[in-house]
Structure 1
Amino acid sequence: MRLLIFASVAVLARAQSFWKCCDFGEALGSSYECKEDLTKRLGVVSNLTNFLSRGIDGKCSEATDKGIITLQLLRGEIVAEALTIGKFFPKCCPLGHFYNPQIHSCAAKGNFQHDFAQGKFVKVGLPQCKFIVDNPDPLEPGADYCLDEDSQGKLVRRECREDTKICKEQRCVKKCCTDGKSFVGGSICLDTYTHGISLNFSSNIEDPTAPFALISNRTCSRIFLMSEERYIFNLLKNGVFRFYQNITESFVEEGLDAPNSYCIEHSNSPKGMGFFFFKCFPDLKIEEKFVYTKWSKILSCVFLVLTILIYLLLGETRNLFGKILINYCVGTLLLFLLLIYVHTDLEPNDSFCILLGYSLIFFSTALFAWLNVMCCDIWLTFGTTKHSIGITQRRKDLKRLLVYMSYGWGVPLILTLIIYMFTSLNVLPYEIQPFVGTTQCFIESRTNNYAGVLFLRLPHLIIQIINTVLFVQTISYCLRIKNEINKIDDTIRHQQKYKFKRDQERLFLILKLSVIMGVNYSFDALSAFVKMSDFGTVAKYIEVTWDCINCLQGVFIFLIFICKRKIYNDFLRKLNIRRTDHLLQNTQTHSMSSATTRFSLKNGRNSLK
């Protein structure tokens, strides 16, 4: 029986002359294992397949990127390998498929017979070609091409051209992916072959049934889905793409030579399946200052997270200022994370770009709002002479916290909603009409358009001016108290000086905050009105340096509020770590002095008595 089977296999092998090492739809891996062929760009024309799984002696061949590999097996083990540069037949579709010239795609065939294919090995498609023409007349000598059969068994020739001369005779349509590929799971081009390009999916295409050539290999990497509900556009019969441009408030026509124009592609993603128009944008060039400040933001995020965790662990949020600081840290952390993402991932989709733009507007305003809350709280702590204790003070703190929360998060929310409303309604004059998410994921800066200044930069500047005034008033109050102390008698002066000494420690902290969070942000708010790079290289690098300092907010906050003896001691006690007696005694000696560094209305002037 075994001899009969072996004889039958030998006869088939001689008739077919060679075996395919793997099964159909499989390719040979680096360790001679058969795995699924995801690209199907190379094929073997043979009815004898899956030789390696038979475990018999003989030879088999497989097509690879390096050439044709032939394996010799003895007792089921590979004993020899040979690599030759064979000739590949140019087939338009994978084996087992025919070509559909109406939609420029491939469709499954009932059998794997391809009598027109000359040779044993085929190379599929024209993935490196930019201009592809079906059944060209006349043929171009020496042009790269591929052959296949249609559903009726007729041969179709697809030819690769070097120029756009063919586009004068018939419409040329831009395809987002290269030949045989389409979008899968987003804007990722993968080999699918079965989608091609159909023009019957949209009413915005003139004469969709007319023949057309394909332009593949888009010249830009950033594309956005063009929703027909949001954009006004048409693909004309001559191949010109016509769309309405908000910047100029007029229609723009882009020909085939426009590098950043439209493209059409089939998409298979959770957001939608089918053919869609996409707008092609040039690659975003990250400004030099964002390259430097990116690492400052990352470092700040690390220290902001540490500050939040330590404050929550030690219960520092029991007092009012602790709650304010946590809100400020959370807002700053989220803003920096969004900015890091924006300057790292430059290919968000259309809807996500809009969401990201409004999120940046909200959290950038929240940063200034909570900074304003901190300044107000410090000013009220030093500027008020009457303070309550006990339950009365706690009630006041609670009411003040609710006011702070409403302001710190409410103002950014209201401002964001106002921008969203005017962006959606589009009722304002162009000069002050805000645009978000059309060409960039933020409120856009356009020529002769001042919406960014009016709706965002100006409110930030006003808040920062208020902060500066509050700092000046606080410092003036402390200096005035010092002068009054010098005028009273020695006994009272001793008590007042003790109080002033502790006030002075808090003033020193205020001065640090004024430098870290006040002065720098004032420069940031002012520089938004002027492009520093226009004033030369020195001004540009001054702006970069200042921005890097601004982006180190998390580091400065950690140094001011966490790197203190009291926080260190509380942290040790929280971890049940005992210290030596002389250190504990030293801690008790300085406990009253350390406590004054807290910013809290609950432990305000009454705690200094």
Structure 2
Amino acid sequence: MRKVAARSLATLVLLVAGIIDGDQTPLSNSTCPASLALPILNVDEIVDFKNGSISYEGRVYPAGYHRWDDSRNLTLGCVCELPGFKCVRKCCPGSQVLNSLTSNCSLQAPDRAARFPVPALELPEKNLDEEIRNFTRLDQVFYLVESGFLCQGSKYLLEPTKYPEDDFVLDSKGALVTQAAVLEPERYCLDWLDDLETIRVIVCYVEEAQEEPVKIEIKLYPVGMIVSLPFLLATFLVYAIIPELRNVYGMTLMCYVASLLVAYTMLAVVQLITFGDLTCIVLAFVIHFSFLASFFWLNVMCVDIWWTFAGYRSIQGSVRQRERKKFILYSIYAWGCACLLTGICIIMEYAPGIPSNVVRPEFGVEKCWFKTEMAKAYYFYIPMGLTVLCNIILFILTAAKIIQHKKNTAHQLKGTESRRHDDNKQWFNLYLKLFIVMGINWSMEIISWAYKSPEYLWYITDLANTLQGVIIFIIFVWKEKIKRLLIKRFGCKGENFLSRDSTRSAYHSSTSRTCTTSVPLNEKTNSCPEPAAKYKSTNFDDSDGA
């Protein structure tokens, strides 16, 4: 009773704090079956809240955790979907027990009921999973649903004493594991026989439905991610092997691409291959960390380009030292925030003493990802949404600063300052393209999560999300200047691969008004590379992102 009260109080606290979203999509019969819901019989006792939540008999059902049942013309409270609740169905309500002849619920004879009250439900240790064998009563582990709703269709009784294949084990999540199947709580119930000496399990027989076609997203999304992987890898390698690109801009892009590369690889793997619980949980944490890291590295790009155009120069030292210090700070921020949020997930999942009513990630319970929509919101979509919002603000501020520079100082910039300003503006244009594509994609991901119906509307944006690697490659690698740098890096064998005329021509084209490249090409692809020391002189102004 104390546990139930604590759960109700926790749900109320969440409600008052505004964490429960009143616009959440209502649960359906499949996610909140009548057999696992509590009927709300007295509508006069319902307390309605403005955000769509209701309170009944001391328990708060947030929006999305209660639904209308047309067949019985009443409201159902989806108690088993509330955070921290693990349910087991008790076949019979109140003091009723199972009739040993009919397997239906019935009351004991009055004289017998007075002498032999119905005891609490308990199972022998051999029928309990190792995690819950220390508990003698089922109500110490589970919330016992007494809906009085047995089965819609036919049912049968498990008789392990007669049929060994009927032997079962109740696991810590409330599922009944038999030799033939794993039965979720809505598929079975248990209660005392009328002799009060034996607990019997009734299984609801479900006719085998025609196999549903595989959803289109299950087929397409892994393919899209697999297509993205070589493009992400190619982008990373190009920026890793070309010294001129290994500045702050290039290094942050490499970290962003590396994060997406790991996330997409692991996500494609878990969608195509079935793993055991431990492997599934580990992969889920890796996916979670990698996606969070990609969000924060995209945020770093926005912060860096805003910092550059805002004119702040708080970091002291040479250009090389400043870039190194900036990249270290950015790495601490991006990797650190991703580690922190993933660490919070680990703590909430495994630390002892965490109240059972707190929303936990529950990786690996149903799939290699979060179990509940609320967990997705707290641990994934809210951090994603905050970084996207921050990026939008930073890009607006940066664009405004560029316009101001163009109006007020463009005529005063000469030589190196002009090159630096134009080069930074080119990187801003690249990042702007990246953010428009990625920002829209991630924004659509949040919207499609919040408003799932109709699903077909989100196929295009979700598929575009899986193809981010291709888009990034086109923006940052599929460029003539990158091609020239690659030729410079690999195509020169001690002789000039470009003639003076071609270099001079490239110079003139690079300084023409119609070309987006502000730095003369012969400064970047000037015949054969000199010794390694030559590369070390490449600084912030030598970015080749345009």
**Cα distance in 2 between the residues matched to 1:380 and 1:541:** 40
Shift in alpha-carbon separation, 1:215–1:591, aligned structure 2, 3 A = farther
Is this contact kept in 2: 1:240–1:253, CA < 8 A?
Answer: no
**Cα distance in 2 between the residues matched to 1:303 and 1:473:** 31
1:333 corresponds to: 261
Is this contact kept in 1: 2:363–2:371, CA < 8 A?
Answer: yes
Q: How does 1:504-583 map to 2 (within 5 A)?
A: 504-531=425-452, 534=453, 536=454, 540-577=455-492, 579-581=497-499, 582-583=501-502
Q: Does 1:403 align with 2:403?
A: no
**Cα distance in 2 between the residues matched to 1:426 and 1:201:** 25
2:400 corresponds to: 476
1:53 corresponds to: none
Is this contact kept in 2: 1:369–1:411, CA < 8 A?
Answer: yes
**Cα distance in 1 between the residues matched to 2:489 and 2:177:** 68
Shift in alpha-carbon separation, 1:242–1:368, aligned structure 2, 3 A = closer
1:367 corresponds to: 294
**Cα distance in 2 between the residues matched to 1:406 and 1:506:** 23
Shift in alpha-carbon separation, 1:404–1:500, aligned structure 2, 3 A = closer
**Cα distance in 2 between the residues matched to 1:356 and 1:519:** 27
Q: Does 1:586 align with 2:505?
A: yes
Is this contact kept in 2: 1:204–1:234, CA < 8 A?
Answer: no
Is this contact kept in 1: 2:309–2:398, CA < 8 A?
Answer: yes
Is this contact kept in 2: 1:362–1:413, CA < 8 A?
Answer: yes
Shift of 1:293: 2.7
The C-alpha deviation readout for 1:560-596, integer Å capped at 9, x for no partner, is 2212233211211222345452433333445673659
Shift in alpha-carbon separation, 1:253–1:297, aligned structure 2, 3 A = farther
Specify which of 343, 351, 357 is matched with residue 417 of structure 1. 343
Shift in alpha-carbon separation, 1:359–1:510, aligned structure 2, 3 A = closer
Q: Does 1:305 align with 2:233?
A: yes
Unaligned runs of 5+ in 2: 1-99, 102-123, 134-157, 192-198, 512-516, 525-537
Larger radius of gyration, structure 1 or 2? Answer: 1
Shift of 1:302: 1.0
Is this contact kept in 1: 2:252–2:297, CA < 8 A?
Answer: yes
TM score, norm. by length of structure 2: 0.55
Shift in alpha-carbon separation, 1:497–1:392, aligned structure 2, 3 A = closer
**Cα distance in 2 between the residues matched to 1:421 and 1:374:** 30
Q: Which amino acid aligns with 1:512?
A: K
Q: Which amino acid aligns with 1:212?
A: Y
Specify which of 276, 279, 283 is matched with residue 352 of structure 1. 279
Secondary structure in 2 matching 1:528: helix
Is this contact kept in 2: 1:204–1:235, CA < 8 A?
Answer: no
Secondary structure in 1 matching 2:361: coil
Specify which of 384, 388, 391 is matched with residue 467 of structure 1. 391
Shift in alpha-carbon separation, 1:506–1:430, aligned structure 2, 3 A = same
Specify which of 217, 220, 223 is matched with residue 292 of structure 1. 220
Is this contact kept in 2: 1:240–1:256, CA < 8 A?
Answer: no
Unaligned runs of 5+ in 1: 1-167, 170-199, 217-225, 261-281
**Cα distance in 1 between the residues matched to 2:485 and 2:542:** 23
Q: Which amino acid aligns with 1:587?
A: A
Is this contact kept in 1: 2:309–2:401, CA < 8 A?
Answer: yes
Q: How does 1:117-132 map to 2 (within 5 A)?
A: none
Shift in alpha-carbon separation, 1:477–1:283, aligned structure 2, 3 A = farther
Q: Does 1:212 align with 2:163?
A: yes
Shift of 1:364: 1.7
Shift of 1:284: 10
**Cα distance in 2 between the residues matched to 1:400 and 1:499:** 18
Shift in alpha-carbon separation, 1:241–1:485, aligned structure 2, 3 A = closer
Q: Which amino acid aligns with 2:163?
A: F
Specify which of 453, 472, 475 is matched with residue 377 of structure 2. 453
Is this contact kept in 1: 2:302–2:395, CA < 8 A?
Answer: yes
Q: How does 1:264-303 map to 2 (within 5 A)?
A: 287-303=215-231
Specify which of 285, 288, 306 is matched with residue 379 of structure 1. 306
1:441 corresponds to: 368
More helix by percentage: 2
More strand by percentage: 1
Is this contact kept in 1: 2:423–2:518, CA < 8 A?
Answer: no
1:173 corresponds to: none
Is this contact kept in 1: 2:423–2:543, CA < 8 A?
Answer: no
Q: How does 1:45-444 map to 2 (within 5 A)?
A: 202=126, 204=128, 210=161, 212-214=163-165, 255-257=202-204, 287-316=215-244, 318-345=246-273, 347-384=274-311, 386=313, 392-424=318-350, 425=352, 427-428=354-355, 430=357, 432-444=359-371
Secondary structure in 2 matching 1:444: coil
Secondary structure in 1 matching 2:318: helix
- Is the deviation greater in 585-594 or in 433-442? 585-594
Is this contact kept in 2: 1:361–1:443, CA < 8 A?
Answer: no
Is this contact kept in 1: 2:284–2:368, CA < 8 A?
Answer: yes
The C-alpha deviation readout for 1:415-437, integer Å capped at 9, x for no partner, is 11211221224734647343221
**Cα distance in 2 between the residues matched to 1:341 and 1:235:** 27
**Cα distance in 2 between the residues matched to 1:502 and 1:571:** 20
The C-alpha deviation readout for 1:538-560, integer Å capped at 9, x for no partner, is xx333111122222221122122
Is this contact kept in 1: 2:229–2:261, CA < 8 A?
Answer: yes
The C-alpha deviation readout for 1:306-365, integer Å capped at 9, x for no partner, is 1112222223563122211111111001111112112212x2111112112222221121
Shift in alpha-carbon separation, 1:429–1:287, aligned structure 2, 3 A = farther
Shift of 1:288: 2.9
Shift of 1:214: 3.7
TM score, norm. by length of structure 1: 0.50
Secondary structure in 2 matching 1:423: helix
Aligned length: 358
**Cα distance in 2 between the residues matched to 1:436 and 1:306:** 32
The C-alpha deviation readout for 1:470-498, integer Å capped at 9, x for no partner, is 11111010111122147xxx6x3777877
Q: Which amino acid aligns with 1:307?
A: T
Q: Which amino acid aligns with 1:293?
A: Y
Is this contact kept in 2: 1:324–1:374, CA < 8 A?
Answer: yes
Is this contact kept in 1: 2:306–2:398, CA < 8 A?
Answer: yes
**Cα distance in 1 between the residues matched to 2:520 and 2:229:** 27
Computed over aligned residues only, the root mean square deviation of the Cα atoms, in angstroms, reads: 4.6
Shift of 1:442: 0.6
Shift of 1:203: 6.2
